[in-house]
Amino acid sequence: MTRSIDYGNLMHRAMRGLIQSVLEDVAKNGLPGAHHFFITFDTNHPGVAIADWLHSRYPGDMTVVIQHWFENLVVTDQGFSVTLNFGNQPEPLVIPFDAVRTFVDPSVEFGLRFETHEDEDDEEDEDEDDGDDDPPPHDAEIVRLDRFRKQ
């Protein structure tokens, strides 16, 4: 029996640990300076808890922004919960770290992307909202990261 080191899995665990550390600091001390986060996650992942109307609107992936207004940010070893404002409607979200697909802090051009075999198939048949609907009027935004990728 051949034993090997699973570098891919080890790297994913390390990157998720980095996100956990960053969010723990923000929960304790707030966001420093111009830092803010775009976090894309799989809305169908076990353990994700979002309002039914949000899941109906974003049945696959959803990107949230943690920037100006957020509250109740609680970070655990498994994930985080936060309340964000969607069109003057505060909504609690529970997001396991294993559900996170991308984590981006555009203020310092930092980003992580978690590749899965499903991602390769999904890119061809994405029917996700392209953000052209009326955006939420306050605080929380749902955006596609394609807008921020360098060409």
pLDDT per residue as tens digits for the range 27-36: 999 999 999 9
Average pLDDT over residues 14-31: 94
- Would the pTM count as exceeding 0.75? no
Each residue of 71-121: pLDDT tens digit? 999 999 999 999 999 888 899 999 999 999 999 999 999 999 987 655 444
Tell me the CATH number for domain 7-146: 2.30.30.220
115/113 Cα distance (integer angstroms) = 6
Domain residue extents for the chain: 7-146
| Pick from 3-7, 63-67, 101-105, 122-126: least confident | 122-126
- Mean per-residue pLDDT for 54-63? 93
Outline where the chain has alpha helix (H): 7-29, 52-57, 117-122
In the DSSP assignment, the letter for residue 150 is -
